[in-house]
Amino acid sequence: MHEWGESLMEPGESSGLNVSVADEAAVAAGHRAWWRDAVVYEVFPRSFLDSDGDGEGDLNGVRAKLPYLEDLGVDAIWIAPWFPSPMADAGYDVSDYRDIDPRYGTLEDAIALMAEAHDRGIRVIIDMVANHTSQEHPWFQAALAAPAGSPERERYLFLDGRGPDGSEPPNNWISAFGGSAWERTTNPDGTPGQWFMHLFAPEQPDLNWSDEQVRNDFDEILRFWFDRGVDGIRVDAAPGFYKTPGFPDADYGGDLRFLSGEWVGNPHWDVDAVHDIFKRWRRVADEYEGDRVLVAEAVVAGSERLARYLAPDEIHTAFNFEFLKVPWDAGLRQVINETLEVLAPVGAPATWVLGSHDELRLATRYGREDSSSAVGASADIPSDLELGTRRLRAAALLMLALPGEAFIYQGDELAVPSADDIPDDKLQDPIWERSGRTVRGRDACRVPLPWSGQVPPFGFSPDGATAEPWLPQPAAWADLTVEAQASDPDSTLNVHRRALRLRHEIRAFRTDDFAWRESPEGVLDFGRGPEVRCVVNLSGEPITLDPDWEVLVSSISLDGDVLPHDAAVWLAPRAS
């Protein structure tokens, strides 16, 4: 569903890139907000750890694995939606914003999870899905029961249809998941009624963010969670909240695609007035102590449009989809430069993201001939998993050495590949049905994690569990379990652990210092101040490492001073 030259500085010279006007005073006073340099681990709760044996992950499962996350060395977790939900879109269809889905536990479990995470120095970001609710939300049910024009209907986008009998959708807008963005309702007396709008599945009706009831309710929902200790809010589908008044037809130009990342002027995406909503959310976050953070999911047409969400009085950070999309090649340099250049004027830190619950698994993507991102891509495209894993490990060292915030999707620290053999009848992503069973969707990256043992459920569910994991795990994952990798010093897990430990130990990683060094064609070589340097070899040839620097961590075991292709190292100056 998703669609960033060269700034040469001397090592040690500060780019000054990441300090906003609003934060200059804080930085001068020695305070640096935690989220500017945090490593955030995405927990997809349904697939993390099942503590009660029902085949689905839960919050007590996350609590049980906090020592694992502390040992891994992450600063924060982002938990994908945990609210009560009919799961028409994996929890991105919320039926109550002030509670926890029973399959995940209780509000008390969530509060205990946050307290225990905080005790281990781990912050908690939750996922706020506010572009739309579930059809089962009481607001939507009340809207269906109320007449056209009622305040209940005002919360959503209900319109009369076109044509003499209103049987045509109100306009030509399409859903991100395929098909029309409009669904017709049936009146209580059985006659056809008004239409409601859904940017995603019909089970996810869009809220009307022009309605003051909606704005006020979400101020209170944000406060509800900040009061209970959440450190941050991920803003799901941020560019969708505001629709062009009058609901004009979209000019798709004959090519019916959602185009969220390509099109300025789309009447249902990235409409300028959307920013008022997030300035309001920022005011709520600023009511709280402790550097509460807003993180935008905003797939928009390029970096200039993205920077608008990151104004000093709006959202603090946003996922960097340009970095995520780009293939594993020397083009990464340009994306890094554009990211830093675009964010400098607004003072937001860069973010570096390579995977999520929406993307093809990284080990699989990087093993393909075309390694750019493609959501829901066909299982038929061959992938060399050994190559993909090798690149994933080098990419981890690259991402974790860049200035700013990094996101790791659960399982990528294990190089878990895409589970491309899920039987059709087990697929749950709405994209599968809405595409007429042509696009398999995102289930392949959502399979429960392998923790231990030789056979499924690989420790995901407790011994004697009555239910199978909600999505089947491939038998070949026996070698990828946390247990198997923990004891292997050269495992992908241990590369992540070493890098994250160093990231905490080396002060330069908590600064904005960044400077490219002169390097051969196809080699990314940069310093984070004079203390540490990252070299990534994308040249196609082995290179010889600088004898004045020693290796702190490498993505693969090295033979002497040679860094092979598709490998990376962090270096420190040798003591003379």
As annotated, the active-site residues are: 236, 287
Q: Smallest gap, in angstroms, from Cβ of residue 256 to ligand GLC? A: 19
Q: How many CB atoms lie within 10 A of CB 17?
A: 21
Q: How far is the CB of 297 from ligand GLC (least distance, A)?
A: 6
CB 119 within 8 A of CB 129: no
Q: CA–CA separation, 180 vs 168, rounded Å?
A: 11
Query: Where in 300-404 does DSSP place strands (E)?
Result: 317-318, 351-353
By CB under 6 A, name the one of 58, 231, 236, 314 that touches ligand GLC: 236
Segment 517 to 556, residues that bind ligand GLC, using CB under 6 A? none
Contact between 358 and ligand GLC by CB under 6 A: the answer reads yes
CB of 427 to ligand GLC, least distance (A): 14
Write the binding mask 70 to 99 for ligand GLC: x where contact by CB under 6 A, - elsewhere: -------------------x--x-------
Asked whether position 129 contacts ligand GLC by CB under 6 A, the answer is yes
Shortest distance in whole angstroms from residue 89 CB to ligand GLC:
5
- Using a 10 angstrom Cβ sphere, with 0-12 exposed, 13-18 middle and 19 or more buried, the burial of residue 19 is buried
Beta strands 523-528 and 515-516 are antiparallel
**Interface pick for ligand GLC out of 19, 33, 214, 237 (rule CB under 6 A):** 237
Nearer to ligand GLC, 35 or 200 (CB): 200
CB of 471 to ligand GLC, least distance (A): 15
Contact 432, 441 (CB under 8 A): yes
- The contact pattern for ligand GLC, residues 239-278, with x = CB under 6 A and - = no contact, is ----------------------------------------
State the Cα–Cα distance between residues 457 and 450, nearest whole angstrom.
7
Which lies closer to ligand GLC via its Cβ, residue 333 or residue 361?
A: 361
Of the two residues 428 and 485, which places its CB atom closer to ligand GLC in the complex? 428
Please say which residue, 201 or 536, places its beta carbon nearer to ligand GLC.
201
C-alpha to C-alpha distance for 520 and 360, rounded to whole angstroms: 31
Strands 123-128 and 232-235: parallel
Cis ω on the peptide bond leading into residue 457 (within 30° of 0)?
Answer: yes
Q: How far is the CB of 374 from ligand GLC (least distance, A)?
A: 15
Name the nearest CA neighbour of 197 among 159, 165, 235, 167. Answer: 159
Supply the minimum distance, in Å, between the C-beta of residue 236 and ligand GLC: 5
What's the rounded Cα separation, in Å, for the pair 89 and 425? 16
Please state the closest distance from residue 294 (CB atom) to ligand GLC, in A: 15
Residue 437 gets the label, from left (phi > 0), alpha (psi -120 to 50) or beta, of: left
Q: What is the C-alpha to C-alpha distance for residues 435 and 430, in angstroms, rounded to an integer? A: 8
Q: Closer to ligand GLC at the Cβ: 48 or 570?
A: 48
Q: How far is the CB of 68 from ligand GLC (least distance, A)?
A: 24
Alpha carbons 348 and 341: distance in angstroms, whole number: 11
200 binds ligand GLC (CB under 6 A): yes
* Tokens matching residue 95: 């039926």
d(CA 197, CA 175): 9
**What secondary structure letter does DSSP report for 545?**
P
3 state DSSP class of 362 = helix
Maximum CA pair distance of the chain? 86
Distances (CA, A) of 171 to 158, 175, 553: 12, 12, 56
Kindly give the pairing relationship between strand 293-296 and strand 317-318. parallel
Name which position in 56, 203, 206, 297 contacts ligand GLC (CB under 6 A).
297
CA distance 447 to 469: 8
Task: Give the list of residues 6+ apart from residue 560 with CB closer than 8 angstroms, or none.
Answer: none
CB of 483 vs ligand GLC, minimal distance in Å: 29
Interface with ligand GLC includes 353 (CB under 6 A)? Answer: no
Return the residue nearest ligand GLC (CB atom): 92
Q: Any contact of residue 197 with ligand GLC (CB under 6 A)?
A: no
Q: CB neighbours of 191 closer than 8 A, spacing ≥ 6? A: none
CB closer to ligand GLC, 263 vs 526: 263
Query: Of 94 and 363, which has the nearer Cβ to ligand GLC?
Result: 94
Residue 180 sits at φ, ψ, to 5 deg, of: -65, 150
Q: Which is nearer to ligand GLC, 48 or 509 (CB)?
A: 48
d(CA 181, CA 104): 30
Report the residue number, 3 or 75, with the smaller CB distance to ligand GLC. Answer: 3
| Tokens 């554009």 belong to residue | 338
Read off the tokens for 76: 């924060």
Closer Cβ to ligand GLC, 88 or 506, answer by number: 88
- Give 263's DSSP letter: -
Total number of residues that touch ligand GLC (CB under 6 A):
10
Tokens read off for 575: 């003591």
Q: Which residues bind ligand GLC (CB under 6 A)?
A: 1, 89, 92, 129, 200, 236-237, 297, 357-358
